[in-house]
Structure 1
Amino acid sequence: MKAGVLQNVNEVTYTTVAEPALEAGDLLLKVKAATICGTDIRILRGKKTSGIRYPSVLGHEFAGVVVETGGHTQFTKGQAVCVCPQFACGHCEYCIRGAENLCRGLTAMGYEIDGAFAEYVRIPASGVRSGNVFPMPEGLSFEAAALAEPLACVMNGQERVGVKMGEIVTVLGAGPIGILHVKLARLSGARCIIVSEPSPMRREAAMRAGADIVIDPTAEDVLARVKASSDGLGADVAIMAIGVPSLANDAIRLVRHRGRVSLFAGFSKGIQAELDVNAIHYNELIVTGAFGLTRLTFETALNMIASGKLEVDSLLTHRFGLPDIVTALATAEQGSAIKVAIVGD
């Protein structure tokens, strides 16, 4: 089969690889759509290394059709499915407490397990048995279904930081994750959503997604605009949707006393930031991280997309075939797109 193979840091090639070797109970899917995540770019550039093998196949946001059922009677050949790509053990202390995204034995598609930038992808029997494979709701496109994974991650992040009705929410960064934060905050009842983003194209996308105020941080004082929109107090919530550690203190300064800050975006390994601990202490701020998703958030996100409660098609600004995987990754990295999809036959 053909695949986009991560050969080494900074090197992806479109090449022929062996068909996935199936073991008992494995599911085989023909990939119909896979979207590019910022983490894929970080892996490509060597900024994220945990669990990554060389060579390997990236891609963890995807949907496809069943080719081999592995003996699982709940699936049929030709059935459309999508996959929650993080597989938890189900019995460690974190899984027992409902935090399977923090499972001590967590494995993931596109990391330890070859992912979906390929014609076919193998879903391990363990992932099938644990309920990580979901039938696609009728009428949902494969591309939209692939976006259940990033939306589920955003849902986890907003649950952690506690976005509430009537609040002022500031989002730093209007890439695909920032746009999803805008949409979800709007759906959660935020009364004012402020977005800081240097790209004109992405600022326009944020406004269309439901932002009330969009700011170019290279030309305007973000703190002044946030203060002016909040009676001088600051936002209730600030969400970092871009992995730039130096912006952490900016996020802390943007919130009011007892405000909350989400360090949502992934950061490069080994890079640290100084935090204004006095501001956190004296202003009684809550600073939280957010990582990954659970099967429950994935299923909820999938149903929200399928029901039309949260629209995602507008995020898909660029589409490529698998042979153009190198160009697709470059397009995603350059920031000239919102979300890039690899579309299969």
Structure 2
Amino acid sequence: MKAGVLTAPNVLSFDTVPDPELAPGDLLVRVKAATVCGTDIRIFRGRKTMGVRYPSILGHEFAGEVVAGGKAGGWSPGQAVCVCPAIACGHCQHCVRGYENLCQNLQAIGYEIDGAFAEYIRIPAAGLARGNVFALPEGLTYDKAALAEPLACVINGQERVGVYRGDTVVVLGSGPIGILHVKLARHSGAHKVIVSEPNPLRREAARAAGADLAVDPTAEDLPAIVRDQTDGLGADVVIVAIGVPALADDALALARHRGRVSLFAGFSAGEKAQLDVNAIHYNEVMVTGAFGLTRLQFEQALKLIASGRFEVDSMLTHRFGLAEISAALATAEQGSAIKVAILDA
């Protein structure tokens, strides 16, 4: 089969590799659509190393069609499926306590397991046994289904920080994840959503996604604007949706007393952030992280997209064939796209 193969940081090529070999209980899926995540770019550039192997195949946001295997789970060739890529063990202390996204034995497609930037992908038997494979709802296209994974992560982040009806929410960064945060905050009933983003194309995308204000932090006074929009109090929720460590402290300054801050974005290995601990202490600001997703959140995201009540079509701004994998990654990295999809020819 053909695949985009990562052999070292910054070295990815479109090559012929052996077809996946199925062990008993495995499922073989023909990839119909995969979308590029910012984490894929970080792995490609060597800024994320946990779980990464060389050579390997990236790609963890995808949907496809069953080719072989999976009979014990009731799957048959030709079925359209979407897969939650985070495979938890189900028996460690974290899984038992209900936070499988932090599983101590987590195996993830696109990390420890070869991913979806390929013609075919092997879903391990453990993924089938744990319920990571979902049938595509009728009428849902493969490219939109691929966005269930990032939306599920955003659902996890907003559940952790709490976004409620009537809140004022500030989102720092309006890349694909920031746009999903805007959309989900609106869906959850936020009264006002303010986005900070230096890229003019992404500011416009944030407005189209439902942001009341899209601010250029390089040319405008974001803290003053937030104060003006909140009667001088600050935001109820501030979400850091881009992995820039300095934004963590900025977020604290934008939050109201007893406000809530989500350090949602992943930061590159070795990067440190300065935090105003007195602001946390005296203002009683809650700061939380968010990592990954659960199968329940994945299912919720898939159903939400399929319902038509959560629009994602406009996010899919660029489409490439698998042979154009390098161009797809470059486009996603340059910031000229919102979401880049790699489609089956």
TM-score per shorter chain, which class? over 0.9
Hey, what does 2:13 align to over in structure 1?
Answer: 13
Which residue number corresponds to residue 95 of structure 1? 95
Give 2:51's aligned residue: 51
| Whole-angstrom CA distance in 1 between matches of 2:17 and 2:8 | 16
User: Alpha-carbon deviations, 1:227-253, whole Å to 9, x = none?
Assistant: 000000100000000000011111000
Q: Which residue of 2 aligns with 1:302?
A: 302
Question: How do 1:166-181 residues align onto structure 2 when only pairs under 5 Å count?
Answer: 166-181=166-181
2:224 matches 1:230: no
The 2-side partners of 1:96 and 1:296 are apart by: 15
1:25-80 CA distances to partner (integer Å, 9 max, x unpaired)?
10000000000000000001111101100000000000000000233351110000
Separation in 2, partners of 1:70, 1:248: 44
Structure 1 partner of 2:197: 197
Where structure 1 has 5 or more consecutive residues not aligned to the other structure, the ranges are none
- SS of 2:75's equivalent in the other structure is coil
1:311 paired residue number: 311
Separation in 2, partners of 1:22, 1:178: 37
**CA distance in structure 1 between the aligned counterparts of 2:280 and 2:70, rounded to whole angstroms:** 52
Q: Equivalent residue for 1:107?
A: 107
Quick one: distance in 1 between partners of 2:254 and 2:28? Answer: 47
Matches of residues 260-275 of structure 1 in structure 2 within 5 Å?
260-275=260-275
Question: Paired residues, what number?
Answer: 345
Shift of 1:313: 1.0
> Whole-Å Cα distance in 2 between the matches of residues 292 and 210 of structure 1?
24
1:211 & 1:275 partners in 2: Cα distance? 27
Moved over 6 A (4+): none
1:323 offset after TM fit, Å? Answer: 0.2
> What per-residue deviation string (whole Å, max 9, x for no partner) do you get for residues 240-284 of structure 1?
000000111110000100000000001001111110000000000
Counterpart amino acid of 1:305?
I
What SS is found at the alignment partner of 1:329?
Answer: helix
Instruction: Tell me, in whole angstroms, the C-alpha distance in 1 between the residues paired with 2:331 and 2:73.
Output: 40
Per-residue Cα deviation, 1:58-111 (whole angstroms, up to 9, x for no partner): 000000000002333511100000000000000111111110000000000000
Q: 1:14 to 1:320 in 2, by over 3 A?
A: same
Give secondary structure in 2 for the equivalent of 1:269: coil
RMSD over aligned Cα atoms: 0.6
CA deviation digits over 1:287-328, x for unaligned, max 9? 000000000000000000000121111100000000000000
Provide the C-alpha distance between the structure 1 equivalents of 2:37 and 2:138, rounded to a whole number of angstroms: 25
1:186 aligns with 2:177: no
SS at match of 1:72: helix
C-alpha distance in 1 between matches for 2:47 and 2:233:
36
Counterpart secondary structure, 1:63: strand
| 1:70-81 equivalences in 2 (<5 Å) | 70-81=70-81
Match of 1:239? 239
Measure the CA separation in 2 of the matches of 1:276 and 1:167: 23
Residues 117-164 of structure 1: per-residue CA shift (max 9 Å, x gap):
000000000101110000000000000000000000000000000011
Write the distance in 1 (CA, Å) between the matches of 2:39 and 2:181: 17
2: distance between equivalents of 1:235 and 1:110? Answer: 36
| Percent of residue pairs identical | 70
Query: Helix, strand or coil for the counterpart of 1:165?
Result: coil
Q: What secondary structure, in the 3-state scheme, does the structure 2 residue paired with 1:236 have?
A: strand
